């Protein structure tokens, strides 16, 4: 299709600030418009999309007959103003949408797409009535910025993500200041550049609040100053507003994406609470064996085959053809499409959670020595009649290193499926392993650990990791979670532990889909740290971000099990 490319088109916002956009539009006539708004530069090669990325091919969208608008967010790259995460995205997005509908090449309909922060900019317009907006396609995105991004659902700080992202954003701002002559001192940029080059060099005694990654401060300082889910975070939490969404949503995520819980939760809210029948009935969910940046499905310790490689272009075009143009597909798209690991196949489903989910308990057992993969910890269908416990020491000065999972940065060995042999030989890891399977067991849905714990400290963390143990000995992580025990009752109201007292707590893990094949074993790993994925709990009950390791104390943590303390892993089992 013939089109016109217009770079750096100025679009004025209601307060007079000018944002710039690159535009591809039809040479003749009008077309529906696809809008992508982002703070990472509209010229970034990743944004042009295609196979192996979480963004559809830009030229494929143009050739399918769409106008495409790529816009630098306020205060980033070519756009004026000051960047403040999330703060201006509703107003700026609505002003941009209104400008688009006034253009002679626009047919008045708008769809939005994009990954990560660009997914949030889509929700910004969908939760508010935005004329012309007919559909959104957020990928690797979530509306809850506390529990699904900068912190966790268990209250721990997402350290590696926060430091990397803030260093990146502050560095881009320093570059703007240098280019404009606002500053001529490159020292800050060099300092931040060092943080970017080595974002994991965090293992020293420096309090988090004093890390050089802070750069100019501002929003990262605010995040650290609010470790609880308080009014600061509630004002930024758009998840309750998802029920006001009237347009259909194509939600795309990855089993190893750090926002997968939010991706699924937001889809379920639209599906069950959306403000229109179109939103409820025409929204779709796709989840592949992917991490936040890459959709290749290829990792050093686990390859998901040629089917695991993702190209989201086709699903986006089909979705927008239906929602913006009213072109019904020959066969309706499945409401839910998931990649089932283990059998490494795609499968269509009626809804999420899967209607035939059976939540099944796998109880923790041991003779008191579940430490390391060579210990005596087991998973069994019934609770033990004998009371028992396992214990370990958690030393914040020697935290358990991150070995796989849903996080950023996308460093091999740090993200995705990783053989747990790199950590499961440590004495501060408890391993509970089920028997060798004779029949396959499918686990698809949300996983959680209900566990009875005690600690010698007034605060500590409990981590949980679901692992698939292969016949060749590989132990591949599937999903994990963390609970900061001060938040065992409520993320908004931290409460200290009474040392030695036993508490029943729930460790929120994540969603996954995996068939444990015959010859494999189901395993649960428990510890008290996952660093640098999360910050280290200093075990003092104090303000962790402001404490150095010199102030940290060692905690002796116990996991209780038996008939009076039926600690159990709860798995969403699918029997078909």
Q: Which residues are catalytic?
A: 116, 257, 292
361 neighbors 379 (Cβ within 8 angstroms):
no
The DSSP code sequence of 132-148 is TEEEEEEES--S-TIII
**Residue 37: alpha-carbon gap to chain centroid:** 19
The DSSP code sequence of 450-507 is EEEEEESSSS-EEEEEEEEE-TTS-EEEEEEEEEEGGGSS-TTS-----TT--EEEEE
Burial of 417 (0-12, 13-18, 19+ CB in 10 A): buried
Count of alpha carbons within 13 angstroms of residue 277, beta-carbon side:
0
Rounded to 5°, angle at Cα 483 from 524 and 233: 140
H/E segment holding residue 25: strand 18-26
Count of alpha carbons within 13 angstroms of residue 513, beta-carbon side:
30
Distance CA 537, CA 539 (A): 5
258 neighbors 407 (Cβ within 8 angstroms):
yes
559 neighbors 364 (Cβ within 8 angstroms):
yes
Distance CA 320, CA 396 (A): 49
DSSP state of 149: I
User: Can you tell me whether residue 443 is helix, strand or coil?
Assistant: strand
Helices (H) and strands (E) in the chain, counts: 10, 21
**Whose CA is closest to 331, among 323, 322, 339?**
322
Distance CA 185, CA 523 (A): 53
H/E segment holding residue 291: strand 284-291
Distance CA 501, CA 43 (A): 56
**Whose CA is closest to 97, among 170, 163, 14, 24?**
14
Give how far Cα 370 sits from Cα of 53, 150, 261, 388, 419, Å. Answer: 40, 32, 29, 11, 19
The DSSP code sequence of 203-269 is -SS--GGG-GGGTT-THHHHHHH--S--HHHHTT--GGGGGG--S-BEEEEEEE-TTHHHHHHHHHH
Q: Strand 133-139 relative to strand 106-115: parallel, antiparallel, unpaired?
A: parallel
Radius of gyration, CA atoms only, the chain: 24
**Whose CA is closest to 121, among 87, 149, 150?**
87
């Amino acid at each position: 299709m013939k089109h016109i490319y217009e770079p750096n088109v100025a679009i004025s916002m209601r307060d007079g600030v000018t944002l710039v956009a690159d535009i591809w539009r039809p040479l003749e006539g009008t077309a529906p418009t696809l809008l992508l708004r982002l703070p990472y530069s509209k010229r970034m090669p990743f944004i042009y999309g295609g196979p192996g990325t979480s963004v559809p091919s830009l030229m494929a969208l143009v050739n399918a007959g769409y106008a495409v608008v790529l816009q630098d967010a306020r205060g980033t790259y070519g756009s004026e103003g000051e960047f403040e995460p999330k703060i201006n995205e509703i107003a700026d997005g609505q002003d941009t949408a209104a400008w688009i509908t006034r253009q002679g090449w626009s047919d008045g309909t708008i769809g939005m797409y994009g990954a990560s922060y660009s997914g949030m900019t889509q929700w910004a317009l969908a939760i508010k009535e935005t004329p012309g907006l007919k559909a959104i396609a957020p990928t690797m995105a979530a509306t809850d910025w506390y529990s699904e991004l900068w912190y966790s659902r268990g209250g721990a700080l997402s350290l590696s993500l926060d430091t990397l992202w803030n260093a990146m954003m502050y560095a881009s701002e320093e570059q703007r200041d240098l280019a404009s002559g606002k500053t001529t001192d490159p020292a800050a940029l060099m300092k931040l550049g060092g943080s970017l080059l080595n974002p994991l060099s965090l293992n020293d005694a420096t309090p988090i609040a004093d890390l050089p990654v802070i750069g100019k401060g501002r929003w990262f300082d605010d995040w650290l100053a609010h470790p609880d889910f308080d009014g600061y975070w509630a004002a930024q939490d758009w998840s309750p507003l998802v029920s006001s969404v009237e347009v259909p949503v194509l939600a795309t995520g990855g089993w190893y994406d750090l926002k997968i819980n939010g991706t699924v939760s937001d889809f379920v809210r639209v599906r069950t609470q959306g403000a229109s029948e179109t939103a409820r009935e025409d929204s779709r969910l796709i989840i592949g064996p992917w991490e936040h940046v890459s959709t290749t499905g290829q990792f050093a310790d686990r390859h998901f085959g040629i089917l695991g490689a993702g190209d989201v272009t086709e699903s986006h075009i089909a979705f927008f053809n239906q929602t913006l143009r009213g072109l019904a597909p020959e066969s309706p798209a499945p409401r839910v499409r998931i990649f089932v690991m283990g059998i490494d196949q795609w499968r269509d489903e009626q809804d999420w959670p899967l209607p035939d989910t059976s939540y099944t308990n796998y109880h923790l057992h041991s003779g008191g020595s579940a430490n390391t993969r060579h210990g005596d910890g087991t998973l069994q269908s019934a609770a033990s009649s004998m009371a028992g416990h396992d214990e370990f020491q958690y030393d914040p000065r020697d935290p358990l290193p991150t070995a796989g999972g849903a996080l950023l940065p996308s460093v091999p060995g740090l993200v995705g499926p990783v053989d747990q042999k790199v950590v499961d030989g440590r004495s501060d890891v408890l391993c509970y392993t089920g028997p060798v399977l004779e029949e396959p067991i499918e686990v698809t849905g949300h996983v959680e650990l209900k566990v009875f714990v005690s600690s010698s400290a007034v605060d500590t963390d409990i981590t949980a990791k679901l692992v698939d143990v292969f016949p060749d000995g590989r132990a591949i992580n599937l999903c994990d979670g963390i609970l900061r025990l001060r938040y065992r009752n409520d993320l908004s109201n931290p409460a200290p532990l009474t040392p030695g007292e036993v508490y029943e707590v729930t460790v929120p893990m994540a969603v996954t889909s995996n068939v444990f094949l015959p010859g494999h074993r189901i395993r649960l790993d428990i510890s008290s740290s996952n660093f640098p994925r999360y910050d280290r709990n200093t075990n003092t009950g104090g303000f962790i971000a402001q404490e150095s390791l010199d102030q940290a104390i060692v905690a002796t943590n116990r996991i209780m099990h038996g008939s009076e303390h039926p600690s159990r892993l709860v798995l969403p089992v699918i029997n078909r």
